[in-house]
Amino acid sequence: MSAVGSPGEALDWTDRLLEVDVGPVAHGGHCVARHEGRVVFVRHALPGERVRVVVTEDNGGSFCRADAVGVLEASPDRVEPACAWAGPGGCGGCDWQHATPAAQRRLKAAVVAEQLARLAGIEREVTVEELPGGPLDWRTRMRMAVTDDGRPGLRVHRSHEVLPVGDCPIAAPGALLPVLERAWTPTAEVEVVRDAEGEVHAAELFEGARHPEIGSDTAHERAAGRTWALPPAAFWQVHPHAADAVVDAVVEGVGDLAPGACAWDLYGGAGLIAAPLAERVGPEGRVVLVESDPDATAAAGACLADLPAVQVVRSRVEKVLGDGGKRSSTRGGSSLPGPPDVIVADPPRKGLGRGLAGQLAEQGAARIVLVACDPAALARDVAALAEHGYRLDALRAFDAFPMTHHVECVATLLAA
Ligand X SMILES: C[S@@+](CC[C@H](N)C(=O)[O-])C[C@H]1O[C@@H](n2cnc3c(N)ncnc32)[C@H](O)[C@@H]1O
The footprint of ligand X on this chain (CB under 6 A) covers a number of residues equal to 17
Please tell me the distance from the alpha carbon of residue 25 to that of residue 127, in angstroms, as a whole number: 15
Catalytic residues: 373
Of 73-81, 187-195, 312-320, 325-333, the segment contacting ligand X by CB under 6 A is 312-320
Is 390 annotated in some ligand binding site?
A: no
The least distance separating ligand X from the CB of residue 316, rounded to whole angstroms, comes to 4
The one-character DSSP state at 412 is E
Of 23-31, 149-157, 190-198, 262-270, the segment contacting ligand X by CB under 6 A is 262-270
Q: How far is CA 302 from the centre of its chain?
A: 26
Please pick, from the candidates 191, 293, 341, 408, the single residue that binds ligand X as defined by CB under 6 A.
Answer: 293
Q: Positive or negative, the Cα torsion across 93, 97, 101, 106?
A: negative
Helix pair angle (375-386, 354-361), 10° resolution: 50
3-state secondary structure of 339: coil
Do 270 and 235 meet the contact criterion of CB atoms below 8 Å apart?
yes
Cβ neighbours for 282, distance < 8 A, ≥ 6 positions apart: 259, 260, 309
Of 141-149, 183-191, 201-209, 266-274, the segment contacting ligand X by CB under 6 A is 266-274
Please pick, from the candidates 268, 332, 338, 340, the single residue that binds ligand X as defined by CB under 6 A.
Answer: 268
| Contacts by 50-53, CB closer than 8 A, 24 or more apart | 50/19, 50/20, 50/21, 50/22, 51/19, 51/20, 51/22, 52/17, 52/18, 52/19, 53/17, 53/18, 53/19, 53/20
Please tell me the distance from the alpha carbon of residue 278 to that of residue 288, in angstroms, as a whole number: 9
Please pick, from the candidates 317, 361, 370, 403, the single residue that binds ligand X as defined by CB under 6 A.
Answer: 317
Residue 346 binds ligand X (CB under 6 A): yes
Residue 316 binds ligand X (CB under 6 A): yes
Q: Which residues pair with 274 in a beta bridge?
A: none
The least distance separating ligand X from the CB of residue 360, rounded to whole angstroms, comes to 13
Please pick, from the candidates 132, 348, 355, 389, the single residue that binds ligand X as defined by CB under 6 A.
Answer: 348
The least distance separating ligand X from the CB of residue 186, rounded to whole angstroms, comes to 29
Please pick, from the candidates 83, 128, 176, 273, the single residue that binds ligand X as defined by CB under 6 A.
Answer: 273
Of 92-100, 208-216, 263-271, 327-335, the segment contacting ligand X by CB under 6 A is 263-271
Is 311 annotated in some ligand binding site?
A: no
The least distance separating ligand X from the CB of residue 83, rounded to whole angstroms, comes to 26
The least distance separating ligand X from the CB of residue 395, rounded to whole angstroms, comes to 18
Residue of 246, 267, 264, 233 lying closest to 348 (CA atoms): 267
Residue 235 binds ligand X (CB under 6 A): yes
Please pick, from the candidates 136, 165, 245, 272, the single residue that binds ligand X as defined by CB under 6 A.
Answer: 272
The one-character DSSP state at 44 is S
Closest CB to ligand X among residues 204, 291:
291
Residue set of the binding site: 237, 267, 291, 346
**Which residues form the interface with ligand X (CB under 6 A)?**
235-236, 267-269, 272-273, 290-293, 296, 316-318, 346, 348
